[in-house]
Amino acid sequence: MVVRCAKQSDGKANHREELEMGIKLLGAGKVEKSKRSIWRSSIKLWIIRVITSVLLWTSVIQLIALGEMWGPKLLKGWPDCPDVTPAVEKSNAPAEFVPPPKRIYKNNGYLMVSCNGGLNQMRAAICDMVTIARHLNVTLIVPELDKTSFWSDRSVFQDIFDVDHFITSLRDDVRILKELPPRLKKRVELGMFYSLPPISWSNILYYENQILPLVQKYKVVHLNRTDARLANNGLPSEIQKLRCQVNFNALRFTSLIELLGRRIVRILREKGPFLVLHLRYEMDMLAFSGCTHGCNLVEEEELRKMRYAIPWWKEKVINSEMKRHDGLCPLTPEETALVLTALGIDENVQIYIAAGEIYGGERRMASLLSAFPNLVRKETLLEPSELRYIQDHSSQMAALDYLVSLESDIFVPTYDGNMAKVVEGHRRFLGFKKTILLDRKLLVGLIDKYTHGSLSWDDFSSIVKEAHANRMGSPRQRVVIPGKPKEEDYFYANPEECLQLLDEPLRSS
């Protein structure tokens, strides 16, 4: 089990800084093993696991603090950041996995789900669907993934996730089957089931009161849309914790993806610290959002055509500059170069670009490359033969980027899409690892002032630093706005209920 931990020091008027380190904890799994049979619920087991890890971690942090080992400094002009990678990390024998006992319950029926969207939207949806199935005491059929979305990846669940681990690690919560039993399959083939898109941002009571009776009546219910179908807030903590358990424990990528991910991280680590830049400057993003700042006329036309060609992208007439000034556009590569430099990111740091093809190619990447010469991506770190099996599968390639993003010293997304949010939340879970959450609305205004000469570099840089001092993925409360779920913080970006243990007093340590 890889556990990452970060601790807050109070930098007073200055910046709140995080202490980061990566250590492999091998003991934790064994400590609990003898207790395992006592705990019937995996939630309990999981909480114990977290507490154990936290306890061990506290001691590790203290030991490290004593050791006074100072790691590489990535952010210039910021307080020193101790960064230690102890030797334990080198032994990476996988922790032995003992499956929990099956939960015995009266099955109320079968739930089929078809996820929609890209990898990370589906990831969050899978967590929600498991949680709903658990709560309704139904049997979940392994979720079907979206093959018709923009990315048109033919991958099925088991091409991306370790399906057996998914099923067994959750079996003390809910029964999950790879497919319907033959008798029910017949019924479904005959159309004897109920299909519907559940209402977005619903409370669990909606599923109890509206969906459960349908399951009982039809035996098989198919939820044919899954994005954001469970509320961010106002849910019992065991529901929130189960969402996390699925996200952080049960969903594991296939061994091929894990292997490639570890290989990339090893190559990067050998050369020192690295930053992952989720540069969401890809054609689909720009066509969809209508953000054309920095594009030439031919490109603008190409993006516009693509937007009009895709029927489910509803917004067609878009004022790019207005949208950009509202902070609704991904930063361009040029803007990103300025911002990273202004933040004081070391120009020699390795920057791993977690993205598909950058729109405009080399021309648009030139300024970023000249500011940060050590730009790498999976295609430059691995041999083509290593990527052969996954390169035509956008979701599997995205999964690889996800793994590298989790491991990085700093994660910077240039847009707040699903990948940015889910990775942000996962990094919080791994010990509030540094994620720089760019304030794009503020930044584009400052960038324009700087490039028009009405703001000096030094002022630009210090305002940018100041504005982001508290946007580093440190602990904070999730924003709750009753009645406006779209404007709230996304549960998966800050799964607070699963992080609180880190703040609680540790009496026994």
Ligand X SMILES: *[C@@H]1O[C@H](CO)[C@@H](O)[C@H](O)[C@H]1NC(C)=O
Binding track, positions 47-86, relative to ligand X; x by CB under 6 A: ----------------------------------------
Binding track, positions 152-191, relative to ligand X; x by CB under 6 A: ----------------------------------------
Q: Please state the closest distance from residue 260 (CB atom) to ligand X, in A.
A: 32
Q: CA 47, CA 5: separation in Å to the nearest integer?
A: 17
Judged by beta carbon, residue 75 or residue 242, the one nearer ligand X is: 242
Type and span of the H or E element at 19: strand 17-24
Contact between 105 and ligand X per CB under 6 A: yes
Q: Please state the closest distance from residue 51 (CB atom) to ligand X, in A.
A: 25
Q: Please state the closest distance from residue 129 (CB atom) to ligand X, in A.
A: 15
Beta bridge partners of 353: 277
Q: Please state the closest distance from residue 4 (CB atom) to ligand X, in A.
A: 35
The interface region with ligand X, picked from 5-13, 173-181, 194-202, 247-255 by CB under 6 A, is 194-202
- Single out the residue of 334, 338, 325, 340 nearest to residue 291, CA to CA: 325
Q: Please state the closest distance from residue 110 (CB atom) to ligand X, in A.
A: 14
Q: CA 313, CA 67: separation in Å to the nearest integer?
A: 55
Contact between 196 and ligand X per CB under 6 A: yes
Contact indicator for 256, 161 with CB cutoff of 8 Å: no
φ/ψ of residue 83, rounded to 5: -140, 115
Alpha-carbon dihedral 12, 15, 16, 22, rounded to 10 degrees: -140
Contact between 192 and ligand X per CB under 6 A: no
Contact between 457 and ligand X per CB under 6 A: no
Using left for φ > 0, alpha for ψ between -120 and 50, and beta otherwise, residue 164 falls in alpha
Select the residue interacting with ligand X from 9, 168, 195, 249 (CB under 6 A). 195
Binding track, positions 130-149, relative to ligand X; x by CB under 6 A: ------xx------------
- Coil, helix or strand at residue 115: coil
- Coil, helix or strand at residue 322: helix
Select the residue interacting with ligand X from 86, 99, 197, 417 (CB under 6 A). 197
Look-up of token digits 């847009």? 415
Q: Please state the closest distance from residue 242 (CB atom) to ligand X, in A.
A: 14
Type and span of the H or E element at 44: helix 42-67
Contact between 462 and ligand X per CB under 6 A: no
Type and span of the H or E element at 221: strand 220-223
Contact indicator for 243, 216 with CB cutoff of 8 Å: no
Judged by beta carbon, residue 5 or residue 136, the one nearer ligand X is: 136
Contact between 41 and ligand X per CB under 6 A: no
Length of the chain: 509
Interface of this chain with ligand X, residues 207 to 266, rule: CB under 6 A: 212, 224-225
Contact between 391 and ligand X per CB under 6 A: no
Q: Please state the closest distance from residue 197 (CB atom) to ligand X, in A.
A: 5
What strands lie across the sheet with 375-376, from one edge to the other? Answer: 375-376, 350-353, 274-278, 410-413
- State the residues that interact with ligand X by CB under 6 A: 105, 108, 136-137, 195-197, 212, 224-225
